[in-house]
A and B are shown apart, each in its own frame.
Chain A
Amino acid sequence: MSADLIEPILWAIGMALLAAVLFTGIGLISGTDETAIVAPLALLVILIGVPPAGVIAFFLAAIIAKHISHAVPTTLLGIPGDTTAVPMLREAQLLRSLGVPHIALQKAISGGVISVIIAIPLSILFALVLTPFAEAIGAAAPWIFIAAAILVAYTSKGKLAAVLALIPFVLIIVGLQAFILEQKDATFTTSFFLGIATGPLIYDLFSALSPAGRRSMTQTGKREFDLAPDVRPAGGTRLPNPFTVLDRQQLAYTSGSAVITSATFVFSPVAMAVLMGEIAGSRIKNGFHRLTTVVSVRNGTTESTYIAETLIPLIAIGLPLSPMAAGPAAPLFNAPPVYTLDAKTGETNNLHDLLSTGEFALFSVIAAVIAVAVAYPFVMRNAHRAATWVMKSVSHEAIIAGFAALICVICLYEGGLLALGVTITVGLVGGLFNRMIGMHAGVQFMGYYVAVLTVPAVLAL
């Protein structure tokens, strides 16, 4: 090993460790949406100047750890840990009714670990297959983005409404960018991303401020949560091995789904989790066995889709051409002034250019090993205690306060009060579109790229 690699490896180890601990904790908090939480924190890591090795390791360790610990609120409290945990909620609930919530949790996180092991090498392999076509894909990017935006919008909850809402949304961004360029001789990126990612929060805060909006948000009492009893068999201090927690059929279905979803990097992770669960479930006759298998397959898919949808576009293309890359992983592609993506020439200067494929492989493996080594044993041993502590001690007000402050600080850093205004504008409009017509943040990120890539290309025709 050359001496030049030692420093990046140390960065990768350190940042992966930080992300693994941080996101194992964040995953325990229900409803912490990946885009809203992971994107701003990844952005932060990039902006404060962490080198590429640390950035990729931080990001991967974050999503891997989060998609292990998000199974805790999903299985023990019956509320989805985040967006991708929604598909396994029903099976988890049913297993909980049968009095075996711990088995749902163990199957889910073991499925996740197996998928991580499969998805990392396969994603890199698929990226290598795609690399020869990268130039052609890059040249066609403006048209690919508009096609992707329409497709992602149509497959969102908003269907046709989300497709049509792209028009005002894109125009708002184009208009804001033109004004910013006139005022500052530069364009903003971060404040747009932040607005899109935290849109639902910004919208809710506005709504809570308005007497009319507040009426629909009023709760009659404290929200009740019913924690499943801790029914694990006593005495077991040995850590269960993910390969023995799953039986052979479950291993086969989870691995098979991970292989398939490592290649289908252009589809939505939630849709793939639902689909893979259906396919595996339809092939298992016994009802009880179907429940446990579907939980492991679905949680496995949340890991493999996230890994593949980050690594494939990063390694092969350098443009954020997947729902994931245009969402939680967006800062890895474009986070000026550190990482840039030139709208006019399609030239990139981001992780794609800064790391070789071999380095991607190395740092991904480091991130995966550390994230699994931190999250898996912690969740296996302490799920019940940790869920209780989070629900009793971490107030939602504190989380909102942290994010509101984070939005202000990052915006002021990027472009002063104008950037803050941009985030509030994009956040309020985006949050409104999200809540009212089901146009989720992924569609809006695609809309951003349509505004900066496709619109200039259309005007140049």
Chain B
Amino acid sequence: MPQLLEVWNDTVDSKHLVGSIAIGIGVAVPAFLISDHFFTTTGDPELGHSYALLIGIVGCIVGAVISGILFKPKRVITESEADTRNRQEVIDEVVEEYGDLGDPRDLKPAVQEEIRALGLFDALVENHENRAKGAQL
């Protein structure tokens, strides 16, 4: 079983990580050193260093792309369907964490329009009214 580790905020396979770093450095560093030697011996040394740096960077990108092709991401993507539960349950959960979401009818017409377009207007009104009733009891 591959050993999965969390490195720099995401999951990697330890073997793939070693391989990727070896490829990245293995491509970029020789690219830099060889071009640095070549450019500084044949032309202006200052400018030669800069050109070599540029080629080194290209090496970094090439190395990263090769690693990307060889090693696939260790992520599982699930696309959640739109919540099929009762709207009110969902809103109740949010209210529990955040506090009352309020009565959309108090808002300015333009804002009301936006909430209507989202299809949340009636659900928010209902939730607010239930809460108001609950508070009175």
Contact = CB atoms under 8 A, between A and B. Distances in A.
Interface of A: 30-31, 44, 47-49, 94, 97-100, 103, 200-201, 204-205, 208, 214, 217-229, 231, 233, 247-249, 285-291, 388, 391-402, 404-406, 408-410, 412-413
B68 interface: yes
B98 A291 contact: yes
B120 A288 contact: yes
Contacts of B49: 413
A400 B20 contact: yes
Contact of B110 (A205, A247, A286, A397): A247
Contacts, number: 233
A218 B4 contact: yes
A161 to B, nearest CB: 22
Nearest to B21: A404
B41 interface: no
A108 B42 CA distance: 52
Given A397-B16, A398-B20, A405-B24, A229 B81 contact: yes
13 contacts: A47-B50, A94-B97, A98-B90, A99-B82, A99-B83, A205-B21, A208-B17, A219-B11, A223-B10, A229-B80, A388-B79, A402-B60, A405-B25
A408 B107 CA distance: 57
Interface in B1-56: 3-14, 16-17, 19-21, 23-25, 27-29, 32-33, 36, 47, 49-50, 52-54, 56
Contact of B8 (A200, A231, A289): A200
A255 B98 CA distance: 25
A64 to B, nearest CB: 23
Interface of B: 3-14, 16-17, 19-21, 23-25, 27-29, 32-33, 36, 47, 49-50, 52-54, 56-57, 59-61, 63-65, 67-68, 71-83, 90-91, 93-95, 97-104, 106-108, 110-111, 114-115, 117-118, 120, 124
A398 B19 CA distance: 10
Contacts of A228: 79-80
A441 B77 CA distance: 31
B60 A103 contact: no
Given A98-B90, A100-B118, A286 B106 contact: yes
A120 B57 CA distance: 31
A200 B59 CA distance: 23
Contacts of A30: 9-10
Given A233-B117, A249-B108, A397-B13, A98 B80 contact: no
Given A222-B74, A398-B68, A48 B50 contact: yes
Given A247-B110, A404-B24, A405-B24, A395 B68 contact: yes
A397 B20 contact: yes
A175 B110 CA distance: 63
Contacts of B108: 247-249
Contacts of A31: 8-10
Given A97-B94, A225-B77, 5 more contacts: A97-B93, A226-B80, A288-B120, A395-B72, A397-B20
B11 A222 contact: yes
A227 B78 CA distance: 6
Listed residue (A228, A404, A410) with the most chain B CB atoms within 10 angstroms of its CB: A404
A231 B98 CA distance: 23
A417 B73 CA distance: 32
A394 B118 contact: no
B94 A401 contact: no
Contact of B6 (A217, A288, A388): A217
B79 A229 contact: yes
A31 B7 CA distance: 11
Contact of A205 (B7, B100, B101): B7
Nearest to B102: A286
A104 to B, nearest CB: 11
Given A44-B53, A288-B124, A413-B49, A406 B60 contact: yes
Contact of B53 (A200, A289, A395, A413): A413
A400 B71 contact: no
B10 A396 contact: yes
Contacts of A226: 78-80
A164 to B, nearest CB: 27
A381 B12 CA distance: 30
B104 A217 contact: no
A93 to B, nearest CB: 9
B73 to A, nearest CB: 4
B35 to A, nearest CB: 11
Q: Top 10 nearest A-B pairs by Cβ distance?
A: A402-B64, A401-B24, A287-B101, A398-B68, A286-B102, A405-B24, A409-B56, A401-B20, A405-B28, A31-B9
B59 A405 contact: yes
Contact of B75 (A208, A225, A398): A225
B20 A47 contact: no
B13 A103 contact: no
Contacts of A405: 21, 24-25, 27-29, 59-60, 63-64
B29 A412 contact: yes
Contacts of B91: 98
A398 B33 CA distance: 22
A404 B79 contact: no
Contacts of B47: 49
